[in-house]
């Protein structure tokens, strides 16, 4: 019988919600508890919105990372991912003229995360976390639209969403995230890896 697989765990949320901070802490905590775990980051498509389509046409999409990702999961390594297909779809479809369904299409069939934790933070609270507004996509109105797109994505019951109140202290958020992750690692090990948005 094959060994137990690792879990695919994703952190999502608007800018400054604390994803990077929490991914790092989660990986550390899981390692300390004896789990085989690795952090993964796809090329950050949220900063290259305008280039998204040409990137796909030039085959620079994250798809090339898939074989190694699947292999690691099969070998029992849990992957903690700082943003996944959801950010790409939410940020791109927040631009005028892009519809959400269309923006999801390139990523249909990607490995489905066993858990997506959405770090919920209002634009006002995010703005208090410094260096906001220096890039176009961080402008308030845009962030609000991105949040609406995430709200739409979170209505999809085929994805295991977990909303986390990201306005709590770093340690409190960390505790909640670690608990959800350990539960997911336990349940995912006996389940097949799913396909996203299929």
Rounded Cα gap, residues 154 and 141, in angstroms? 20
Q: Using CB under 6 A, which of 169, 190, 192, 198 touches ligand ADP? A: 169
Rounded least distance, CB 129 to ligand ADP, Å: 4
Q: Using CB under 6 A, which of 18, 88, 113, 123 touches ligand ADP? A: 18
Closer Cβ to ligand ADP, 73 or 81, answer by number? 81
Rounded least distance, CB 172 to ligand ADP, Å: 8
- Give the chain's end-to-end CA distance (angstroms, integer): 27
Closer Cβ to ligand ADP, 96 or 130, answer by number? 130
Closer Cβ to ligand ADP, 161 or 197, answer by number? 161
Contact of 33 with 106, CB cutoff 8 Å = no
Rounded least distance, CB 49 to ligand ADP, Å: 16
Closer Cβ to ligand ADP, 46 or 184, answer by number? 46
Q: Which position has the token pair 């890896």?
A: 193
The pair of structure tokens assigned to 137 is: 């996509």
Rounded Cα gap, residues 23 and 14, in angstroms? 14
Rounded Cα gap, residues 117 and 120, in angstroms? 9
Q: Using CB under 6 A, which of 5, 6, 7, 19 touches ligand ADP? A: 19
The pair of structure tokens assigned to 185 is: 């690692």
Q: Using CB under 6 A, which of 75, 170, 179, 187 touches ligand ADP? A: 170
Q: Which of 106, 109, 80 is nearest to 93 (CA)?
A: 106
- Residues of the shown chain interacting with ligand ADP in the complex, contacts defined by CB under 6 A: 13, 15-21, 129-130, 169-170, 173
């Amino acid at each position: 019988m094959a060994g137990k697989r690792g879990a695919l765990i994703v952190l999502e949320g608007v800018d400054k919600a604390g994803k990077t901070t929490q991914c790092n802490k989660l990986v550390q905590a899981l390692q300390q508890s004896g789990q085989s775990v690795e952090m993964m980051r796809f090329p950050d498509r949220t900063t290259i919105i305008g280039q998204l389509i040409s990137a796909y046409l030039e085959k620079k999409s994250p798809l090339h990372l898939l074989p190694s990702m699947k292999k690691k999961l099969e070998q029992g390594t849990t992957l903690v991912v700082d943003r996944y297909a959801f950010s790409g779809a939410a940020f791109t479809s927040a631009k005028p003229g892009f519809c959400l369904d269309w923006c999801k299409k390139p990523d249909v069939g990607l490995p489905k995360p066993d858990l997506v934790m959405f770090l919920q933070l209002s634009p006002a609270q995010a703005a208090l976390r410094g260096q906001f507004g220096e890039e176009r996509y961080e402008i308030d109105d845009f962030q609000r639209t991105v949040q609406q797109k995430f709200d739409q994505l979170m209505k999809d019951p085929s994805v295991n969403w977990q909303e986390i109140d990201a306005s709590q202290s770093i340690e409190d958020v960390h505790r909640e995230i670690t608990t959800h992750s350990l539960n997911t690692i336990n349940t995912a090990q006996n389940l097949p890896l799913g396909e996203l948005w299929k």
